[in-house]
Every structure is written in structure tokens, then in C-alpha cells.
């Protein structure tokens, strides 16, 4: 049990809609990273938030956006959903910096776009 919780666990959306996914980070962690894992693929880094600011972004379009709140929980928002956005979205929390930084992953939100 990592202490990282994501909600919802599953949801189905229609193409063109907008979706918000939520992540509660582990106690004591100030950094949240989001990953997209398509079926049969490895997770791909979307972006990271550190102390409420975006701290690095992968190769994802601007319709993928995020927020981090003062309690370090985070949201991932995706606008204008496309069929290819169907995937497992993983959140990972960590403490910034150092060789012993470890990322703790939540169980993910499975998004299906129809």
C-alpha cells in the first residue's frame, strides 16, 4: 500500500468531452508526476508538479493540463478527448531531489473514450 490514491478508478467519456482525474499524494511528498499507459505499452511521462508549479513536461499537447494544490494533491485535465486518449493514467508521488528519491505509484484511472 503506497498511500497514493487516484479517483475515479474507471470512467467512460465521449470523444470531444473533457475529463478531470485526481491524485492524492503520499504524506510528506511534494511532487506529483502523471503518466499515460496505453494498452500493452509502458507508461509515458505527461508532466510533473512540484510545489504547485509545473516542473517538466513530456511530449503531450496543451489540451493535457494539470494543477497541484497546497496539500500537494493534483489534478490532470484533458480537454477535447480523442479516442487515442483511452489509457490507464498513473500518478506518482515523490519528494523532490536526491539519489534516493523514489516514486510511489497509485493504482491508476482507466479512461475509455468512445
Partner 1 sequence: GDSVTQMEGPVTLSEEAFLTINCTYTATGYPSLFWYVQYPGEGLQLLLKATKADDKGSNKGFEATYRKETTSFHLEKGSVQVSDSAVYFCALSALRGADKLIFGTGTRLQVFP
Contacts with partner 1 by CB under 8 A lie at: 2, 4, 31, 33, 35, 40-45, 48, 56, 58, 90, 92, 94, 96-103, 105-108
Strands 109-113, 10-13: pairing kind: parallel
CB of 82 to partner 1, least distance (A): 21
Q: Which residue, 83 or 99, has its beta carbon nearer to partner 1? A: 99
Residue 44 C-beta: closest distance to partner 1, Å: 7
Comparing CB distances to partner 1, the nearer of 3 and 61 is 3
DSSP letter at 84?
G
Q: Closest approach of Cβ 26 to partner 1, in Å?
A: 12
Query: Which residue number, 1 or 27, has a Cβ lying nearer to partner 1?
Result: 1
Q: How many other C-beta atoms lie within 10 A of the C-beta of residue 8? A: 12
Q: How far is CA 60 from CA 2, 9, 28, 107, 113, in A?
A: 27, 22, 28, 22, 17
Distance separating alpha carbons of residues 64 and 49, to the nearest angstrom: 13
Amino acid at each position: 500500500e503506497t498511500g497514493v490514491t487516484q479517483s475515479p478508478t474507471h470512467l467512460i467519456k465521449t470523444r470531444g468531452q473533457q475529463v478531470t482525474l485526481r491524485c492524492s499524494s503520499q504524506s510528506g511528498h511534494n511532487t506529483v508526476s502523471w503518466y499515460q499507459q496505453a494498452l500493452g505499452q509502458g507508461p509515458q511521462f505527461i508532466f510533473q508538479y512540484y510545489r504547485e508549479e509545473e516542473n517538466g513536461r513530456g511530449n503531450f499537447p496543451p489540451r493535457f493540463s494539470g494543477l497541484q494544490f497546497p496539500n500537494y494533491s493534483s489534478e490532470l485535465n484533458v480537454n477535447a478527448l480523442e479516442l487515442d486518449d483511452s489509457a490507464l493514467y498513473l500518478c506518482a508521488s515523490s519528494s523532490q531531489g536526491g539519489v534516493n528519491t523514489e516514486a510511489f505509484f497509485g493504482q491508476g484511472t482507466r479512461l475509455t473514450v468512445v
